[in-house]
Structure 1
Amino acid sequence: MGQFKANQLVDRLEAAAKARQATVARFRARPAADDPIVLARQSARRAIIQAREVREHEREMARQEAGAQREAEALAELERQEAERIRQAAEKAERQAALAAEQKAARDARFAARKARARR
């Protein structure tokens, strides 16, 4: 059995050496940095990155525009509520003034009736 295990170890070592050699071969087979294919790939990547940045910028501008729109709508709503509150306060003051005038007229009528009874 010792022989069998030794063969397995040798086989694993040989496989690892072949894998290392294949990796080195792939590394050496890579095109140089000034190769036209590499340069074309880099320019394509740059174009993709620039397009992505433009889209991100457009989304940010749209977000800011939407935020400004929401802010303007909220401000308009607050102004409308304030105008409604002022209108209601004016109506309430008007009703209170009318009620006070009505109560004064009733009080004056009672006073006049009492004076008229006292004169008889």
Structure 2
Amino acid sequence: MNETLRTNFSNRLQTAADAKKALLEKFKPKPAVVDPNFESREVAKAAELKQVRADRADERAAARQLAADKIQAAEQAIADSAAAVLSLKRGATKERKALSAAEAKAKRDSKYAARKARN
């Protein structure tokens, strides 16, 4: 122990407490200086946020419109396909009826010819 400083136990305890207090003072929050541009920065930040939200809303609307257009195109293709199939079926039915009518006419004509040949 250094006797030239004339430190006793209570002085050493006080010095240790002061050192501990100084160490704890480093961790305390210090008073902040208010930025003079704080309000203008907040306004700019709010405007930027509003712009970002508007851009995102536009992107979502465009994506919805694109999806709706794709769905409409698919429905139109299905409808066109169904119309084509229906048209083909109707054409086949008309052709079948025409053939049946022609066969019936040919059968009638042959009966008429046979009857004429007998008389």
TM-score (norm 2): 0.67
Structure 2 residue 67 is the aligned partner of structure 1 residue 69: yes
CA distance in 1 between counterparts of 2:67 and 2:40 reads 40
Q: 1:49: Cα distance to partner?
A: 1.0
Q: Which stretches of structure 1, 4 residues or more, deviate above 2 A after TM superposition?
A: 35-38
RMSD (CA atoms): 1.5
- Work out the CA distance in 2 between the residues paired with 1:79 and 1:65: 21
Q: Deviations over 1:29-84 (max 9, x none)?
A: xxxxxx94431121111111111111000000001111111111111111111111
Q: Say which of 19, 43, 46 aligns to 1:48.
A: 46
Consecutive unaligned residues in structure 2, runs of 5 or more: 1-32
Q: Which runs of 5+ in 1 are unaligned?
A: 1-34
Query: In the alignment, what sits opposite 1:102?
Result: 100
More helix by share: 1
CA distance in 2, matches of 1:82, 1:43: 58
Tell me the matched-pair count. 86
Percent sequence identity over aligned pairs: 12
Larger Rg: 2
Q: What does 1:18-57 align with in structure 2 at a 5 Å threshold?
A: 36-57=34-55
Which amino acid is the alignment partner of residue 100 of structure 1?
Answer: A
Give the whole-Å Cα distance in 2 for the aligned partners of 1:91 and 1:75.
24
Matches within 5 A, 1:7-22: none
List per-residue Cα deviations over 1:95-117 (Å, max 9, x = no partner): 00000011011001101101111
